[in-house]
Amino acid sequence: MVRYWLSAHTVDTWRGFLESGTQDAGWSEKKGKRVKQIQPGDRLIFYIVGEKVFAGYAQVTEGHHYDPSLRFAGDRYPHRVTFDNLKVLDKQDWVSMDPFKKELNFYNYHKGIYSSFIWRSPSEFDQHDAGILIGKIDEAAVK
């Protein structure tokens, strides 16, 4: 079964990620245990902290591998997964969660205080939330 994972970025790490042209998503040393759960076929859903928006998604093609050379915005992200089929929204099309946040189980579960879910990235979305988020990203991509 496909699993869906939040991949949280700051505006700076998102910009660095896109500019690098990499097909690896990376996380810090302390996130390694959760990254090891991500498998080929899973999907990453990209969230921009601070902006509170979703900016795209991708399909994982290679599970966890370790490479300390990946750096964005001066930080090291050695726990990686490789992806393909990246769908990235232009900044003006980023999807704000505000209009539909009460439809999302993770928002309701955390009673609207969902920052721990975001900062724990990679965090797993349930199928319901993933379907809504990917649908909203796809809608924004065709505008």
Q: Which of 34, 20, 85 is nearest to 56 (CA)?
A: 85
- With 80 as the cut, is the pLDDT of residue 143 above it? no
pLDDT in tens, 96-132: 999 998 898 888 776 767 777 888 889 999 999 999 9
pLDDT computed for residue 99 by the predictor: 93
Domain ranges of the chain: 4-141
**Percentage of the chain modeled with pLDDT above 90:** 57
Q: For domain 4-141, which CATH number applies: 3.20.20.10, 3.10.590.10, 1.10.1040.10, 3.30.413.10? A: 3.10.590.10
12-43 pLDDT, tens digit per residue, is: 888 888 888 878 888 888 998 999 999 999 99
> Does the pLDDT of residue 7 top 70, yes or no?
yes
Question: CB-based contacts of 92: which residues, under 8 Å, 6+ apart?
Answer: none
Structure tokens belonging to residue 77: 């992200």
Q: Where are the beta strands (DSSP E) in 1-143?
A: 4-9, 24-27, 43-48, 53-66, 71-72, 75-76, 79-88, 95-96, 123-125
